[in-house]
Amino acid sequence: MNMNVFLIMAVSVLFIGSVQAHERFDRTVDGRSYLAYLPGDYATRTEPMQVLLALHPATFDAEWFQNIARIEAEDAAEDVIVIYPNGSPAVTVGLSWDAADPRGISRGDSEFLLAVVEDIATIAPIRSKFAITGFSAGALMTYKMLGEHGDVLSAAIPYAAYFNDNVIEMSDWPATVPVMHMHGTDDARVNPVTGEGDADSLYNFGILSDHMKVVAGRNASELGQIEYDAVETALGGAEVVSVNDATSYVLLDGIAHYWPRFLVEDMPNASAAVLEFLHAISNTLESCSGADLAEPFGELDFFDISAFVAHFSDGDPGVDFTGDGEFDFFDVSAFLAMYHSGCP
């Protein structure tokens, strides 16, 4: 990283908003630790919140990545629980993720990440699916979670690394998951344009555009077109390339192997882009039936029942399913019929 880039990033950190709306928790589950940042009013919330796991690169840890990314400090994080888990002991030094182990040895990292989400659900209402992002080795772990647990993911945003031989051999992930891969064009570690880099001796990366075609082939398109305007703005005008409705990537011109969080106009902010991508997905998804009244849309659960009761009690015309201007047993019956019919 040259001195000019370093100075811009350093100045950006100094101008982070002084008001921190999230509350930090240091928690442990199954003998391993993680940092969680919850909205300050989480204890009084009844609507389920989006959980975002943010995975650090190899040799570093959760504290380091939080200091670099500070996703929870972005304005768009208001309704998001941001979690920074600690990886397992790396092959060399520090912490990493088993998806980045060139020996292909599992260290139980996938199970740990699932346990983290289950643990945070004991203190706050969360959606039934969670999102995940990761930098470098954290990106490889993001792809591994797609392969193993795509059915519980709402989105995946890998940054600066993609399929290694351990992950590419995995079977198709079991559900459509919106994927947006971000990568700097000057990345000497994993170059997305040439497919070469310092890490190529350990991992056969290939060219990013070819890799994303593989992802799209596994990731069936069922979502409808996602609007990327806010994402592109957050990335300083970089263009998001859609491979299909559920799969996209973006190349950040001149960015090397680091997580960019520039707080100046026309410069990329990967942290903001991750959150804007989550919002873009929410805006794309639609209710699957009249009974689908609460997020996460596209599935029916307790939160839809709770929302119906609240709207019914308030006399909301939106739940006057018989259209007679009255709120009675027949509206309840209509709601239950739609609920039991499920989503198409």
Distance CA 102, CA 110 (A): 17
Residue 252 has pLDDT above 90, yes or no: yes
Examine residue 296 and say whether the peptide bond preceding it is cis (omega within 30 degrees of 0).
yes
Residue 8 has pLDDT above 80, yes or no: no
Give 194-234 pLDDT, tens digit per residue: 888 776 555 567 889 988 988 888 887 667 788 999 999 99
Mean of per-residue pLDDT scores for the chain: 85
Distance CA 209, CA 193 (A): 8
Element housing 114 (H / E) = helix 109-120
pLDDT interval class at 17 (50, 70, 90): very low
Rounded average pLDDT over 315-343: 82
Interacting residues of 291 by C-beta distance below 8 A, sequence separation 6+: 300, 304, 308, 335, 338, 339, 341
Q: Which CATH class is domain 3-284?
A: alpha beta
Give 95-144 pLDDT, tens digit per residue: 999 988 877 778 899 999 999 999 999 999 999 899 999 999 999 999 99
Give 24-38 pLDDT, tens digit per residue: 999 999 999 999 999
Residue 171 has pLDDT above 60, yes or no: no
Looking at the chain, the whole-number percentage of residues with pLDDT higher than 90 is: 51
Rounded average pLDDT over 26-54: 95
The residue count of the chain comes to 344
What is the number of other CB atoms lying within 10 angstroms of the CB of residue 324? 10
| Domain ranges across the chain | 3-284, 302-341
